[in-house]
Structure 1
Amino acid sequence: MDNINFEVATVGGGCFWCTEAVFQEVRGVHKVVSGYTGGKAPGRPTYREICSGLTGHAEVIQITFDPAVITYEDILIIFMTTHDPTTLNRQGADTGTQYRSVIYYHNASQQQKANMVLSEMQKVYEKPIVTELSSLGIFYDAEDYHQDYYKNNSEQGYCQVVINPKLAKLRQLHADKLLK
């Protein structure tokens, strides 16, 4: 495991509980961390501040993955097909800039690959894709109770109504990319 050259992807597609649950089922994903980035407010933001929509931060996840098992492009395709990239600052009932669809690239290679995937994915959607593409700034881990949220709370109502359908879509569209 020490010789694996992991890469990191950072994406936001609404509530981080949803995107975290999706990528925890993907083969080649080593770790998923819920957090915040993209804001202008100084200092470490709190969940309460993020929810106000005033900090400019988005709820995101950082995905540490093995590119020998799953590519960055595949990560982005899974991301783009398990949330709605055509709704501005909204995913279902979650509204506000903190729920925007966004890809934060870590380097020029990721930026190029993300542009390519966004272009290809536009052919799949009738409405224009509004997913933001930005350079990653400071990433802040979310509070501990947000980490592994679905794993720890799968019987909770939000998980049943919002996350379970996303997981079903993942399993239908990307069965070949999932943990066995």
Structure 2
Amino acid sequence: MCSTYKKEEMISNIPVTDTTLGFESDVECDFCPLFLTTYNADKSENARYEYGDHAPDEEKYQEECRFKPGDKVLCLMYEGYNAVFPGIVVGPLTEEYLRKLYETDEDMQIGYSSADEAVEKWHDWSWDSVIVRPLVRLKNDWEEMGDTVMVNRVYVFPYKKFKL
């Protein structure tokens, strides 16, 4: 594992362009982050994730996000979209939101036998998310974004206009 100094040195050497959103440094296990830090385009720290204790009733449940409800942000989403999109922060992921999502999401109903099971088995990484109202509705080959989406907290960045 790289030291903090080594990571900062590596990031300081990466060129920045007008289209740079930010950077990330991560350590993964079984395709899920153990440690993940995102940085803004100016190379200042955006957010940090460390595995563990993000589920309800645990110490880091609804870990504070630097953005408050109503803030306009840019979100990075990999799951089926691989895109950056603008949105408005609604708030942290809650059990209630996940239970309501289970009632309408057929894929969740295939993967879990009940809303209780979905809440119980939801990954730590996924619990460290915020709910965002997308300002554009992306569509992939199998679905269109809903009125709100879950975005991992570390993938929520300050809003900025890009020079293209």
Bin for the TM-score computed over the shorter chain: under 0.3
Calculate the TM-score normalised by the size of structure 1. 0.25
Q: Which has the higher strand share?
A: 2
TM-score norm. by structure 2 comes to: 0.26
Which fold has the larger relative contact order, with Cα–Cα distance below 8 Å and residues 6 or more apart in sequence? 1
Bigger CA radius of gyration: 2
